Amino acid sequence: MALDPRWPLALFRGAAPIALGLMLWVAIAGGEQERHQTLKAQPEGNAAILADRRRHNELVMMALREAAQTDDNVSQRQVPWRK
């Protein structure tokens, strides 16, 4: 039983996309660990900064809630709160 000469070409055509996908996956997975290390080193991990950011978000939400509940143009009035 002789092999058809087209088999090696067919195997190569089938294996090439799989090999390319595997190489891309390995390249991205290696960079993922570095990205996690960079994110851990960011100052946003500090509890004081997170508390300050939460307070700021609360103030913004209060202003948005007040703007939604009134018919006045709240963008033109003086803002009593500061960041």
For the chain, 83 residues long, the average pLDDT of each consecutive 10-residue run is 80 92 86 78 74 90 86 68 50
How far apart, in whole angstroms, are the C-alpha atoms of residue 61 and residue 48?
Answer: 20
Residues 6+ apart with CB under 8 A from 48: none
pLDDT at 18: 94
pTM for this entry: 0.39
Domain range annotation of the chain: 17-69
Residues 47-60: b if buried by 16+ CB within 10 A, e if exposed:
eeeeeeeeeeeeee
Question: According to the model, what pLDDT value does residue 83 have?
Answer: 45
CA atoms of 68 and 83, how far apart (whole Å): 20
Total length of the chain: 83
Q: What tokens appear for 77 in the block? A: 């009035």
